Chains A and B, each alone.
Chain A
Amino acid sequence: MKVLVAVKRVIDYNVKIRVKPDHSDVDLTNVKMAMNPFCEIAVEEAVRLKEKGIATEIVAVTVGPKASQEQLRTALALGADRAIHVETDARVESLAVAKLLKGVVDEEQPDLVILGKQAIDTDNNQTGQMLAALSGMGQGTFASEVAFGDGVEEGEVRVTREIDGGLQTVALKLPAVVTTDLRLNEPRYAKLPDIMKAKKKPLDTRTPEALGVTVASGLSLLKVETPAERKGGIKVGSVDELIDKLKNEAKVL
């Protein structure tokens, strides 16, 4: 089966972000960028499906500026067969990304689409669900296990989902959309020879216009602020002092 994996270029998760002085957005100049951690898990899952002989081809896709091709090359180094870059410099909200991805889904006709559950910049947790809705597919969000043939019928995928309070297992008719949670797998690192080979793998470019999608959104970002700082606390010297402070000063015990 053909698997489509969507990846996003985001600020590296270890970077402490700065808000621009004019409060228009977060300052991304000269900041280390990387593949979104949940997207790494998505790529890893696709590669494991190929190693198990279930997936026959992995296509990686991203939406974003020219520089996002770095993240596609990373996906190729990790095991994707080819890549599609939907190039736009516009600020694209989740709904527009979902529409662009639907355009790619319509062209590629994958059997399974894997995305991360959320990107760590916007923290939206929307794109996979929206893509499933627009493509008329079932959705297995927050997946901690993806299986075939194991208790489900031919033409279905079994997805175990992380829900508040535990796990839920569903069967989805293929083609379907799966979004990854942390526990799904532990992503591998790209090896140097694979990084070199990835440079030769095919990478096609599309534009929103060619896919017939307008990226305009009904949402505007009015302001970005730094959250209120917590005021510095104190260190106490003993358990007795801690209990006393919690009882008599903070009054939470």
Chain B
Amino acid sequence: MSILVLAEYHDGQLAAGTAHVVGAARAIGGDIDILVAGDDIAGVAEAAARLDGVSRVRVADAPVYAHQLAEPLADLLVQLADDYSHVLAAASTDGKNVLPRVAALKDVSQISEILSVESADTFKRPIYAGNAIATVQSRDPLKVITVRTTAFEPVADGAAAPVEALDIVVSSTLSRFIGEELAQNERPELGGARVVISGGRGMGNGDNFKLLDGIADKLGAAIGASRAAVDAGFVPNDMQVGQTGKIVAPDLYIAVGISGAIQHLAGMKDSKVIVAINKDDEAPIFQVADYGLVGDLFEILPELEQKL
């Protein structure tokens, strides 16, 4: 068996999720190669080569692969796929964008967001917003899989694997990059934070989200939000935790003014410890919270910030 892992990176830095995907690849077993595709990405390739258990890093360095557009990246992966039994990527927006396209071009199914590896062809994955867990088996010759990174331990750094340049340059006429607008955020990334504090409709308005800042600073936490808070226009949608937003599993998740709808729970119920702060003691969030505090968040948050 041989496995190709698609590396993910942002701003020239290898994304933390890639080490988790290599962790999933090791659970499958076999030789593990990493593909780094982009424009001017030598630094990413070096970081990928240091991941423990990686046999080699294959680098496709050409302007056509900049910005990870699905069309050229899928064409590149299709050209490489015959050497592999499995192609893996993180279930991030990049991985979800590209891998189904690769699978269709190879005429195989794609398995989304696996939680565990039962064997080389059998995997568990969440369905119905995580309210059921399906075990699926693939008889396809090529398994194309996205990995829920929070479900797998990352591999550590090891000895540097060889880096090999690929000279495959595909042409791309279907799409072109126009621009991007990245949220300015000095806090840890929501998906990888050890602590997450999220606000819901109970926050009342966008300004009140500032009440979470001081606590987040003290805990080194990322700030999230429920869909209700996003829909109400309090905060931008990239902060949304839930079935339709980001899936997080931090050590500590603090839900403030969040009732705990199915949609939200799907995004955070695998957190190690959940704290709920809500004035409604009947709120469903208390059924999943390890520690609940019933009361007015406008009194509790300043006190919490001061006492931490």
Given A130-B101, A164-B93, A164-B238, A173 contacting B112 (CB threshold 8 A): no
State whether B290 touches A250 (Cβ < 8 A): yes
Nearest-CB residue, chain A, relative to B106: A133
Residue in A26, A38, A165, A220 whose CB lies within 8 Å of B128: A26
How long is the Cα–Cα vector from A240 to B244 in the complex, in angstroms? 35
Residue in B104, B182, B195, B244 whose CB lies within 8 Å of A166: B182
State whether A171 touches B178 (Cβ < 8 A): yes
Size band of the interface chain B makes with A: 35 or more
Whether B232 is near chain A, meaning CB under 8 Å from some CB there, is no
Chain B residues with CB under 8 A of A230: 269, 274, 288, 290
Chain-A contact segment, one of B42-50, B136-144, B206-214: B136-144
State whether B262 touches A16 (Cβ < 8 A): yes
Nearest-CB residue, chain A, relative to B173: A173
State whether A17 touches B122 (Cβ < 8 A): no
Chain A residues with CB under 8 A of B304: 239, 242-243
How long is the Cα–Cα vector from A14 to B131 in the complex, in angstroms? 12
Tell me what chain B mostly uses at the interface: helix, strand, loop, or mixed: mixed
Interface residues of A in 177-230 (CB under 8 A from B): 181-183, 217-227, 230
Whether B18 is near chain A, meaning CB under 8 Å from some CB there, is no
Interface residues of A in 123-145 (CB under 8 A from B): 123-134, 136-142, 144
State whether B128 touches A123 (Cβ < 8 A): yes
Given A123-B127, A219-B140, A236-B292, A252 contacting B174 (CB threshold 8 A): no
Interface residues of A in 8-49 (CB under 8 A from B): 11, 13-14, 16-17, 19, 26, 37-38
Size band of the interface chain A makes with B: 35 or more
Nearest-CB residue, chain B, relative to A125: B96
Whether A234 is near chain B, meaning CB under 8 Å from some CB there, is yes
Chain-B contact segment, one of A56-64, A82-90, A91-99, A105-113: A91-99
What is the minimal beta-carbon distance from A239 to any residue of chain B, in angstroms?
Answer: 5
Chain A residues with CB under 8 A of B287: 232
Nearest-CB residue, chain B, relative to A38: B244
State whether B108 touches A95 (Cβ < 8 A): yes
Given A94-B109, A123-B112, A239-B304, A138 contacting B174 (CB threshold 8 A): yes
How long is the Cα–Cα vector from A95 to B109 in the complex, in angstroms? 6
Chain B residues with CB under 8 A of A220: 136-137, 139
Residues 181-193 of chain B: 1 if any A CB is under 8 Å from the residue's CB, otherwise 0?
Answer: 1110100010100
Supplied contacts A26-B128, A123-B112, A126-B100, 12 more A-B pairs, CB within 8 Å: A26-B132, A95-B107, A129-B97, A131-B104, A136-B174, A142-B93, A162-B93, A164-B92, A165-B238, A172-B174, A230-B290, A238-B293
23 sampled A-B residue pairs with Cβ under 8 A: A13-B262, A16-B262, A37-B244, A127-B100, A129-B99, A129-B101, A132-B101, A139-B71, A139-B175, A168-B181, A170-B69, A171-B175, A176-B174, A222-B122, A227-B130, A232-B287, A233-B286, A233-B292, A235-B281, A235-B293, A246-B275, A246-B291, A250-B252
Binding site for B on A (CB under 8 A): 11, 13-14, 16-17, 19, 26, 37-38, 93-95, 98, 118, 120-134, 136-142, 144, 151-152, 158, 161-173, 176, 181-183, 217-227, 230, 232-236, 238-240, 242-243, 245-246, 250, 252-253
Q: Which 6 A-B pairs have the closest CB atoms?
A: A138-B174, A129-B100, A130-B104, A166-B182, A218-B140, A126-B100
